[in-house]
Chains A and B, each alone.
Chain A
Amino acid sequence: MHPFVSKAALASAFCLVMQGATAQNKASLTDPAQMKTLLQKSVFDIDTSAKAVIIYEKGWFESFESAPVYKLERIVKIIGKDAVDDFARISVPASKRSLVRKVTGETYNLENGEIVKQSVEKADLIKEKITANTRVTKFALPGVKTGSVVHYVYQIDNTGYGLPSWDFQNSYPTLYSEYEINIPTILKYSSVSNTSVPFKEVTRQRSLEDCNACLYNSANGNLGRQTSIWVRRNIPAFRTEPFMSADANYLERVKPTVTSLEYPGYQFLLDNWEHATENVYYKNDESCGQVFKGNAFLLDPVNQIIAGKNGDLEKAKAIYAFVRDHITLKEESFNDYKALSDISEVYKRKEGNSEGINLLLIAMLRKASLEAEPVVLATRASERLHSFIVDINAIDYMIGIVKIGGQDYVLDASDKYMPFGTLPLSCYNGYCRIVSKKPDAVELHPDGLTDKTTTIVSLAPVKDKLLLKVEQKLGNVSGTLLRNELKEDTAKLKEKIQKGLSKLSTPLQLKQYSVNSLKNADLPLVIRYEAELPWNADKDLVYLDPYFDKLCEQNPFTLTTRKFPIELGYLSDNKYVFNFQVPEGYEVDDYPKSSVLKLSQEGLMQLKNTLVYDAENKTFSINCHFNQKTTVYTADNYNQVRTFYDNVIAEQKKKIVLKKNTPAQVH
């Protein structure tokens, strides 16, 4: 998004980079005995089945004059074939203005008990122009195979804006990871670190040699520079787990964030969200600033849309429907960002990117005298925002908020199939900032989003077959997702229904299907269909599966142990109703008992299943209701969650048994 670094006029000499690293983990590079040991070693205590171990890793960031420099050094031991590809081909992308230099790489192998070292030659460096503005420097390390130790270094001059964050944790275990920044004292920053062992601040650089997680800060007022060095040791590999939020929320890392850039006559504050939102968004005329202007051109169109509407809520819905239905979302091509986010262009051309569309929506709501404002947020793919630290780089989406009758409605008009007041799933990611004169925040937690789906099934004899009738009303989330998937193609809907039917235990023939509207997002999506089951009236016993729409066929939670909490995207509320008219000559001989399944005392997840047989009228019915009270489940509770789903699956696997009436039993 918005670059923060402006040219800092500094009167300081370029000094040597302080050697913050300890010698230990780099020792193998200078001591053949240690290198030999490392080459022979194939099992490491930190993780006995790892396919590679990062022995040493260090990042440097320096920013003086106007040329920030980034440097990386890494030593890796390769243990398994798979890891060879991850470390043998190195690519360093950079912008046109940057320069990748001082690239070195060596591979060490043990051949017949002797250390053999191969180096990357200058001729092996490939410099490729990717696009007009991006470049990449690539090299393949020679002779890399299982057992090798590789070592490479590179530097990027003039890296661009921002203080880089640093991941201590990688997809392979890391024995030593260090990050050092050297920046002018006129840049104030704070940092958030996310590590399993908290950083201990040490006063002497030497103390870094002896800790699992420590931080050394120093400042030299005369030279106007400050240094911070973080050292972290013995970090296990990071493994993403299913049903969790962005890796970045859990990966061990440190994020130094600039809070201000100040020198006489100039001040740029990002020290808190109020200042950051104001400087980056509110005052930005190419972005949110647009909605706070006069926008006279919108007056007539808005008045036309709200003519005859009663009350603010109706007006808001009408404006929302107009923007959603008439402005097409267009992905940016190569250089049309401006046209797609300028609201007068968006209105004129009837197309825009998501920011442009939502800003137009807000401008129009404001023209109707409604209290509407832009909201910036980090989507679920991005790291969550927090109130206590400004993280502009994590922000990747913009929506709108309107306050009517004391209630807040969140809006995204860029999705053709989104109902009023609901956002795409990815937006429910916690803390968001409202961009307005009076700074404010809003929390969009997945717990606030419920997907309520009702499926009503009836099964009754018709001539010599059974007729199945299904009516399914989908909730806000599943309905919007399905509409986006089908894109008004009813043939695709038919295929989807047929694929679902083919998974059931009886052969079903789809007879007809209908849907209320694949297009109109303001109507909850309702799908109806009918199918026929063959009915063999000669059989004495029939085992019938009464669940024609199951919650799940396989347990979605497949890991046996879990480290991170489960974070679902929304709450599910599912109702399944089944009404069965038993065919002539048969009766229900056997069926499962009603039951209630609960996850934990409070019923954080619950399945209430009621089965009733009316022997006189020969009707059988099921009412099965599944719901959740929270989207977050701690890792400690994982086994209970898994077992709960086991029980849900088992419950919906139960059959009902029909028996042919013997003459003596007919009343």
Chain B
Amino acid sequence: MITLRLKALFFSALIVITGSAAFAKQDDNPALAASAIPAALKTNAHAVIRYANTEVSVESLNRVKYKRSYAVTILDEQGKAAANLMEQYSQMIRIQNIEGALYDASGKMLRSLKEKDIFDRSTYQMSGAFHSDERIKAYSFNHTVYPYTVYFEIDETLSTTFFMPRWSPQPGNDYAVEQAQFSLSYAPEFKVRYKELLLPPGARKDGKDAQGRPLVSWQVRNIAAYKTQPLSSSDNYDRPTVLLAPGDFQLMDYKGNMNSWNSLGLFSYQLNDGRSQLPEDKKALVQSIIGTEKDTYKKVQLLYAYMQQNTRYVLNAYGISGWQTFDAAHVAHNGYGDCKGLTNYLKALLAEAGIKSYAALVSAGDDYYRLDEQFPANNFNHVILCVPQAKDSIWVECTSQELPAGYLGSFTQNRKVLLATETGGYLCNTPFYGKDKNYLVRKISVRIDPASEQQQVTMQHTYSGLLGDDIASIVKNKPKDQVREWQNTRFSFPSYGINDYSYVFTGNNGIPALEENVTATVSGVITSTQKRTFLNIGWLQNPLTEVLQNEPRTLPLVLRKSFRITDSLLVTLPEGSQIESLPEGKSIDYPFASYRLRFEKRAGEVIAIRNYEQSAGVYKPEVFADYQNLYQELNRQKEDMNIVLLNKTP
């Protein structure tokens, strides 16, 4: 599926409402002098939007005019990306005109952009699509004397209302905005909806345009740049945004209505309906695969496994195929499809086995768009399959060739999705994998040999749920020598070589698990001073994410995953060892996690037991300092977790 990725839109004032003179490119424009930028807007900024004007005019269901013009001053080298023009277009997005100009620090025009200078290319090797009709028009003035200002004007026409531009006047945290305007006009029967996010009060004005059609406009001024704070993003947008969505819409030859999730889901269903005819031989194959199996889950598993072994993911997205699936016969014949094609194919196979299922539209990935129940809109970039059951539905990720049926992994877990059915669209939630499902249990043991510089370490790990997905993927797919290389770099011993490893893939109620046994020869464990021997056991990796924030924390701490890690490390000491000291234990509870570390001394042995349990959530800003402190403390363990033995005196 193609999502329309639009850059921020800034324009100069062309609006009838304000009645101000049009800002257009002119020979010299002292107003663009860098010195005219208010000092407050230069703080934390590498680029400043001086003027920006965006106009969206919905003329008909398949004609939307989209005009932008903007002037941005690049303050220093770190802001140079802001000076580049890069516009995507396709069959449904046509660029009519592009103009541009370059001004020096005083506002003197140095040169203007000519049409013939614009670089045009396909998106070959720029995206995951094997074949796509998306192309790019790009240009860079490539100026190197800072500060300078660039001006661009882009006129586009969209021949669809299925996806609409959005307005984000501040493209990034290191941009400041002097002034930006946005206007939306439409024929009243189209009932275009909008949603405002993080706008200052009074930004919007409602009115009518010269033809008497509804005209809604927004204006923002003096928005400052800011420093990002790590682990702080919890919502879809961090900066002022206006989203648009249609009522009635048209996508190529297909019409629909987006006022409700139900009608949007119905559109998707109808668009993709009737494309599940299986060839006769595949029908017979389905029957032979399921045999006499009665259990629904097992039948799904069998057919999913068949699909995983006989198809692969290839994205061909051009024209309508960005939204409408290739039919099942096509996928059966070629052995490949994209997420829609593979989902539709499995749906057809299941239907042949008497199992009903539905395609579910989803926004996938770790940085996904959280569905807004109050604002039906098309923000999906992926399709998965849902097999409704009386109790827990079975969810299937059709583009994966290794996940078990029913398990989604981190790609689409824990979010609202839109099920497309013959009676319309319905919102439901994908499963959430919490601490009970995401865990890691590690048992490590080492028998210290004082005569050797290298020690043999035995590790036995059990991974469950999200924590094991990446490892499973590597071990199942990569050739042996690459797996070995990966083993030689993933642990945090000072220096080591893997002797042997083995894996057993298991699972519990559809949640994959794997058991890993690894033995390694490790160096850097034993060091000696004149009177003592230090056994360094700070091998456990830091489960927290690296963070560093110097400025005061103002935003919440946002943690996305819940999991628990239990470690036990058994160190067998040499005969007659005399322990001078053991590392200190710790027990602390935070709102976001609990951490326990303790050491036990037994005859000839020391055991370190560590527990870390984290809960996903949005926490008050004050809690961030605790997270950062805990992260740093666990870092220190690498060097300061030592068992100190006294050397035997002769």
Residues of A within 8 A of B (CB): 49-51, 80-82, 84-85, 88-89, 91, 118, 126, 128-132, 136, 138, 140, 142-146, 239, 328, 330-331, 333-336, 351, 487, 489, 494-495, 498-499, 502-507, 541, 543, 545, 553-555, 558-560, 589-593, 642, 645-647, 649-651, 653-657
Q: Does B461 contact A (CB under 8 A)?
A: no
Q: Is there an interface contact between B334 and A650, defined as CB atoms closer than 8 Å?
A: no
Rounded to whole Å, the gap between the CB of B88 and the closest CB of chain A is 15
Task: Give me the 4 closest cross-chain CB pairs, A-B, nearest first.
Answer: A505-B639, A555-B495, A49-B480, A143-B335
* A642 to chain B: closest residue by CB: B495
Interface string of B103-146 (1 = CB under 8 A from A): 00000000000000101111010000011000000001010110
CA distance A593 to B532 in the complex (A): 12
Residues of chain A within 8 A of B402, CB atoms compared: 81
Known A88-B312, A145-B309, A653-B536; contact A646-B495, beta-carbon cutoff 8 A:
yes
The stretch among B187-195, B349-357, B439-447, B522-530 that forms the contact with chain A is: B522-530
Residues of chain B within 8 A of A144, CB atoms compared: 312, 335-336
Secondary structure call for the B interface: mixed
Q: Does B228 contact A (CB under 8 A)?
A: no
Residues of chain A within 8 A of B636, CB atoms compared: 504-507
Residues of chain A within 8 A of B635, CB atoms compared: 502-503
* New A-B contacts (17) at CB < 8 Å, excluding given A143-B310, A651-B527: A82-B478, A88-B314, A126-B131, A130-B121, A143-B334, A328-B145, A503-B638, A558-B485, A590-B530, A592-B529, A645-B495, A647-B453, A650-B527, A653-B494, A654-B529, A655-B642, A657-B532
Residues of B514-570 contacting chain A, CB below 8 A: 523-524, 526-532, 534, 536, 548, 550
Q: Does B644 contact A (CB under 8 A)?
A: yes
Q: Does B373 contact A (CB under 8 A)?
A: no
Rounded to whole Å, the gap between the CB of A76 and the closest CB of chain B is 15
Rounded to whole Å, the gap between the CB of B231 and the closest CB of chain A is 16
CA distance A336 to B635 in the complex (A): 50
CA distance A589 to B334 in the complex (A): 75
Ordered by A's residue number, 18 sampled pairs between the chains whose C-beta atoms are within 8 Å are: A88-B336, A89-B130, A128-B122, A142-B335, A144-B335, A144-B336, A333-B142, A495-B550, A498-B548, A505-B640, A506-B640, A507-B632, A543-B640, A554-B494, A591-B529, A592-B530, A650-B494, A654-B529
Q: Is there an interface contact between B124 and A128, defined as CB atoms closer than 8 Å?
A: yes
Q: Is there an interface contact between A140 and B488, defined as CB atoms closer than 8 Å?
A: no
Q: Is there an interface contact between B638 and A50, defined as CB atoms closer than 8 Å?
A: no
CA distance A651 to B495 in the complex (A): 13
* A336 to chain B: closest residue by CB: B142
Rounded to whole Å, the gap between the CB of B640 and the closest CB of chain A is 4
* B546 to chain A: closest residue by CB: A499
Rounded to whole Å, the gap between the CB of B74 and the closest CB of chain A is 14
Q: Does B333 contact A (CB under 8 A)?
A: yes
Q: Does B497 contact A (CB under 8 A)?
A: yes
CA distance A543 to B580 in the complex (A): 11
Q: Is there an interface contact between A591 and B122, defined as CB atoms closer than 8 Å?
A: no
Residues of B392-418 contacting chain A, CB below 8 A: 401-402
* B646 to chain A: closest residue by CB: A590
Interface string of B334-374 (1 = CB under 8 A from A): 11100000000000000000000000000000000000000
Known A82-B479, A130-B121; contact A553-B335, beta-carbon cutoff 8 A:
no
Q: Is there an interface contact between B479 and A333, defined as CB atoms closer than 8 Å?
A: no
Q: Is there an interface contact between B336 and A140, defined as CB atoms closer than 8 Å?
A: yes
CA distance A423 to B120 in the complex (A): 36
Residues of chain B within 8 A of A146, CB atoms compared: 309
Interface string of B46-67 (1 = CB under 8 A from A): 0000000000000000000000
CA distance A130 to B132 in the complex (A): 11
Rounded to whole Å, the gap between the CB of B78 and the closest CB of chain A is 7
Q: Is there an interface contact between B536 and A331, defined as CB atoms closer than 8 Å?
A: no
Q: Is there an interface contact between A592 and B477, defined as CB atoms closer than 8 Å?
A: no
Known A333-B140, A592-B530; contact A49-B485, beta-carbon cutoff 8 A:
no
CA distance A84 to B314 in the complex (A): 11
CA distance A503 to B401 in the complex (A): 40
Known A506-B640, A592-B529, A646-B523; contact A239-B481, beta-carbon cutoff 8 A:
yes
Q: Does B209 contact A (CB under 8 A)?
A: no
CA distance A647 to B523 in the complex (A): 8
Rounded to whole Å, the gap between the CB of A416 and the closest CB of chain B is 10
Q: Is there an interface contact between A655 and B548, defined as CB atoms closer than 8 Å?
A: no
* A496 to chain B: closest residue by CB: B548
Q: Is there an interface contact between A131 and B495, defined as CB atoms closer than 8 Å?
A: no
Interface string of B303-338 (1 = CB under 8 A from A): 000000111101000000000000000000111100
Q: Does B91 contact A (CB under 8 A)?
A: no
Q: Does B489 contact A (CB under 8 A)?
A: yes
CA distance A203 to B580 in the complex (A): 79
* B494 to chain A: closest residue by CB: A649
* B144 to chain A: closest residue by CB: A328
CA distance A579 to B454 in the complex (A): 31
Q: Is there an interface contact between B310 and A504, defined as CB atoms closer than 8 Å?
A: no
Residues of chain B within 8 A of A239, CB atoms compared: 481
Residues of chain B within 8 A of A334, CB atoms compared: 117, 119
Residues of chain B within 8 A of A140, CB atoms compared: 130, 314, 334, 336
User: By CB atoms of chain B within 10 A, which of A143, A239, A653 has the most?
Assistant: A653
Rounded to whole Å, the gap between the CB of B401 and the closest CB of chain A is 6
Q: Does B492 contact A (CB under 8 A)?
A: yes
Q: Is there an interface contact between A657 and B488, defined as CB atoms closer than 8 Å?
A: no
CA distance A301 to B25 in the complex (A): 37
Residues of chain A within 8 A of B488, CB atoms compared: 558-560
CA distance A593 to B528 in the complex (A): 9
Residues of chain B within 8 A of A336, CB atoms compared: 142
Q: Is there an interface contact between B523 and A590, defined as CB atoms closer than 8 Å?
A: no
Residues of B197-232 contacting chain A, CB below 8 A: none
Residues of B613-642 contacting chain A, CB below 8 A: 632-633, 635-636, 638-640, 642
* A145 to chain B: closest residue by CB: B310
Residues of B420-459 contacting chain A, CB below 8 A: 453-454
Which of A50, A130, A499, A505 contacts B122 (CB under 8 A)?
A: A130
Q: Is there an interface contact between A145 and B335, defined as CB atoms closer than 8 Å?
A: yes
Which of A502, A504, A560, A654 contacts B498 (CB under 8 A)?
A: A560
Which of A331, A545, A647, A654 contacts B142 (CB under 8 A)?
A: A331
Residues of chain A within 8 A of B532, CB atoms compared: 590, 657
CA distance A331 to B644 in the complex (A): 57
Rounded to whole Å, the gap between the CB of B421 and the closest CB of chain A is 32
Q: Does B581 contact A (CB under 8 A)?
A: yes
* B493 to chain A: closest residue by CB: A554
CA distance A142 to B332 in the complex (A): 10
Q: Does B605 contact A (CB under 8 A)?
A: no
Q: Does B600 contact A (CB under 8 A)?
A: no
Residues of chain A within 8 A of B530, CB atoms compared: 590-593
Q: Is there an interface contact between A80 and B479, defined as CB atoms closer than 8 Å?
A: yes
User: By CB atoms of chain A within 10 A, which of B309, B526, B550, B639 has the most?
Assistant: B639
* A82 to chain B: closest residue by CB: B477
Rounded to whole Å, the gap between the CB of B152 and the closest CB of chain A is 16
Q: Is there an interface contact between A554 and B480, defined as CB atoms closer than 8 Å?
A: no
Residues of chain B within 8 A of A331, CB atoms compared: 142
* B141 to chain A: closest residue by CB: A333
Q: Does B77 contact A (CB under 8 A)?
A: yes
Rounded to whole Å, the gap between the CB of B533 and the closest CB of chain A is 10
CA distance A31 to B314 in the complex (A): 31
Q: Is there an interface contact between A136 and B640, defined as CB atoms closer than 8 Å?
A: no
Residues of chain A within 8 A of B495, CB atoms compared: 554-555, 642, 645-646, 649
Residues of chain B within 8 A of A118, CB atoms compared: 333
Residues of chain A within 8 A of B454, CB atoms compared: 646
Interface string of B474-490 (1 = CB under 8 A from A): 00111111001100110
Q: Is there an interface contact between A649 and B524, defined as CB atoms closer than 8 Å?
A: yes
Residues of chain B within 8 A of A130, CB atoms compared: 121-122, 124
* A93 to chain B: closest residue by CB: B124
Rounded to whole Å, the gap between the CB of B95 and the closest CB of chain A is 16
CA distance A73 to B528 in the complex (A): 62
Q: Is there an interface contact between A654 and B534, defined as CB atoms closer than 8 Å?
A: yes
Residues of chain B within 8 A of A494, CB atoms compared: 550
Residues of chain B within 8 A of A559, CB atoms compared: 485, 488
